[in-house]
Amino acid sequence: MKTYGLIGYPLSHSFSKKYFTEKFLKEGITDHQYELFPIEDITALPDLLANNPSLCGLNVTIPHKVNVLCYLNEVDEAADKIGAVNCISIKSFDGENYLKGYNTDAYGFEASLKPLLSPQHQKALIFGDGGAAKAVKYVLDKLGIPYQIVVRKAMPNTILYSEVTPQILATHQLLINTTPLGMSPNINTFPEIDYEQITPEHLAYDLVYNPLDTEFLIKAAERGASTKNGLEMLHKQAEQAWAIWNK
Supply the DSSP symbol for 64.
Answer: -
Q: Are 14 and 8 in contact (CB under 8 A)?
A: no
Provide mean pLDDT across the span 50-66. Answer: 95
127 plus 225 within the same structural domain: yes
Instruction: State the residue range of the domain holding 92.
Output: 2-102
Residue 244 within any structural domain of the chain: no
Residue 245 within any structural domain of the chain: no
Model confidence, pTM: 0.93
Q: Are 217 and 227 in contact (CB under 8 A)?
A: yes
Task: Give the confidence band of 142 by pLDDT, cuts at 50, 70, 90.
Answer: very high
State residue 12's pLDDT score: 79
Of 56, 73, 102, the one marking the end of a domain is 102
Q: Would you please indicate which residues are annotated as catalytic (active-site) residues?
A: 65
b/e sequence 204-231, b meaning 16+ C-beta within 10 Å? bbbbbbbeeebbbbebbeeeebbbbbbb
Supply the DSSP symbol for 101.
Answer: E
Q: Are 161 and 150 in contact (CB under 8 A)?
A: yes
CA 45 to chain centre: 22
- The answer for residues whose C-beta is within 8 angstroms of residue 43's C-beta and 6 or more apart is none
Residue 70 within any structural domain of the chain: yes
Listed residue (72, 1, 55, 8) closest to 31, CA to CA: 1
- The answer for residues whose C-beta is within 8 angstroms of residue 83's C-beta and 6 or more apart is 66, 69, 134
State residue 131's pLDDT score: 86
**Dist CA 166 CA 131 (whole Å):** 28
Number of domains in the chain: 2
Residue 160 half-sphere exposure toward CB, CA atoms < 13 A: 5
Residue 116 within any structural domain of the chain: yes
Residue 183 within any structural domain of the chain: yes
Of 76, 102, 128, the one marking the end of a domain is 102
159 plus 222 within the same structural domain: yes
130 plus 29 within the same structural domain: no
Of 43, 75, 102, the one marking the end of a domain is 102
List pLDDT tens digits, range 143-196.
Answer: 999 999 999 999 999 999 999 999 999 999 999 999 999 999 999 999 999 999
State residue 151's pLDDT score: 98
93 plus 7 within the same structural domain: yes
CATH of the domain at 180: 3.40.50.720
121 plus 98 within the same structural domain: no
Supply the DSSP symbol for 156.
Answer: T
State residue 95's pLDDT score: 86
CATH of the domain at 36: 3.40.50.10860
Listed residue (58, 110, 63, 64) closest to 87, CA to CA: 58
Residue 220 within any structural domain of the chain: yes
130 plus 198 within the same structural domain: yes
**Does the pLDDT of residue 197 top 90, yes or no?**
yes
- The answer for residues whose C-beta is within 8 angstroms of residue 229's C-beta and 6 or more apart is 206, 208, 209, 212, 213, 214, 217
Q: Are 190 and 212 in contact (CB under 8 A)?
A: no
**Does the pLDDT of residue 13 top 80, yes or no?**
no
User: Helix, strand or coil for residue 143?
Assistant: helix
229 plus 110 within the same structural domain: yes
